[in-house]
Amino acid sequence: MLEINPGLIFWTIITFIAVLAILKKVAWKPLLTALTSREEQIRTALQQAEHAQTEAMKLLEENKRHLAQADAHAQQAMREGREMGERLRVEIVEKANANARAMVEQAKDEIRRERDAALTQLRGEVADLAVIAAGKIIDANLDVNKHRQLVDNVINEIRPS
Amino acid sequence: MNFLAFFTSADTTHVAAESAQHAAAAGEHHGEMSVSEMFKHLFEHVQDSRELELPFIGHVPLPQFAPIEIGGVSLDLSITKHVVFLWFSAALLILLMVLAARANRKNRVPTGWGNLVEVFVKFIRDEIVVPNMGEAGLKYMPYLLTTFFYILIMNLFGLVPWGSSATGNVSVTAGLAIVAFIMIQFSAIRAQGLGHYLAHLTGGVPVFLWPIMIPIEILGLFTKPFALCIRLFANMTGGHLVIVSLFGLIFLFKSYLIGAVTTSFVVAINFLELFVAFLQAYVFTMLTSIFMGLGIQAGHAPHDEHAEHSH
């Protein structure tokens, strides 16, 4: 059982070398390259995934910042709008008030002027009527101008101040 | 007594030829076989032989060649049973590995058989080669993979009915150990350079101790593969001998009860054998890789020293 058979040793070595040569070509090379290339693929895929994640985080962060900025902008715009509206309102009201006051003043002036004119006219009419009445009453030959002066004086004296 | 006589005679006589005679004899008078004859018949499974036992066909004689004399050594290149199993294992291994390689090239995610083979390949690469030999060991991956799978498949053939494990023959393991020896020396010389390799044989001791040191170191080179050879052979034969002995008990005691007990034992031993088949293939590969790694790493150390000195 323990005796050495050199022929069998020879066959073993020859067969082993042949198996090694064949397997190296048809099995180990393809298997090992498949293994290493897959490992490489997995490694790069993981790296890419990690990269993508950091990128996504960055984008998210940026988006958040943009959103916050937009919010602030909107708030400010609203505040400014409100302030401006308030200011405008006050301005408009004041202007309207001023206008109204001016119109009232104008109207008052007009009224006063009209009243003065009407009074003047009325006085003239009254004087004329008075003269006519007086002439008719006293005398038709009376000096019109002299009496008219007289009556004007009287009317001026009674004009309210 | 027959039992012992068998074992003592088996070691001294030319068993291959004798067992063939006995097998023929056993075939003639099957009924009245002596215990010793029965043992011899069972023992054939472990022995090399000049004929092949095939299912349903029986014993087939194998081609014989006249021994060739080379320098006093007679080289008998006759095809024996173990040579047949050597080749049969080789053919099956190549077929299985080609299937695995093809499957893995086709599928980006390996499945089934390809995946199983890849698990072993990856284990050998990441758990055996790289830790023991470093990145430089990847060059020797094909050799170590072949060693592992070839030994494994030869081991497993011993568990198949009508099969026989070629690794249970000391000449086959010697052949494998010789290849391992060559690879160990080759990788060491390649990594260290011939000068460093030879300088290493002196063990770094003073010159007057060299006559003692060099023979010891050279002996050391041979003991490692010798251990590989004997370990694999003994492990693969041992299990078979246990099974043969357990079956022998049936014929010794001629009892059904013993038959039931031993059969259950043999089933258990068979599972152990299955484990040992994997374990021994692993151990052989592992140790070869460690021995190669020692040579390779010894080559790296002086280079590093040089680099430090130059700075």
* CA B304 to the chain's CA centroid: 37
Domain range spanning residue A85?
47-158
Pairing of strands B58-61, B51-54: antiparallel
pLDDT in tens, A27-67: 899 888 888 888 899 999 999 999 999 999 999 999 999 99
Residues forming beta bridges with residue B54, ordered by sequence position? B58
Dihedral angle over CA of B49, B52, B57, B61, nearest 10 = -80
DSSP codes joined into one string, A89-129: HHHHHHHHHHHHHHHHHHHHHHHHHHHHHHHHHHHHHHHHH
- HEC string of B111-129 equals CHHHHHHHHHHHHHHHHHH
pLDDT digits (tens, 9 = 90+) for B124-135: 999 999 999 888
Confidence of residue B166 (pLDDT cuts 50, 70, 90): confident
Q: Distance, in angstroms, between B278 CA and closest chain A CA?
A: 19
CB–CB of B287/B176 below 8 Å?
Answer: no
Which of chain A's residues have a Cβ under 8 Å away from the Cβ of B77?
Answer: 7, 10-11
Q: Do A28 and B117 touch (CB under 8 A)?
A: no
Nearest CA to B228 out of B275, B292, B160, B273 is that of: B292
- Is the residue at A96 inside a domain? yes
Tokens linked to A14: 């020859």
B211 alpha carbon, distance to own chain's centre: 35
Domain ranges of chain B: 1-79, 80-310
Average pLDDT over chain B, rounded to an integer:
80
Q: In chain A, which residues have pLDDT < 70?
A: 1-2, 137-143, 160-161
Contacts of A7 in chain B (CB under 8 A): 67, 75-78, 80
ipTM here: 0.79
The answer, for B86 touching chain A at a CB cutoff of 8 Å, is yes
The number of distinct structural domains making up chain A is: 1
Cβ–Cβ contact A25 with B under 8 A: no
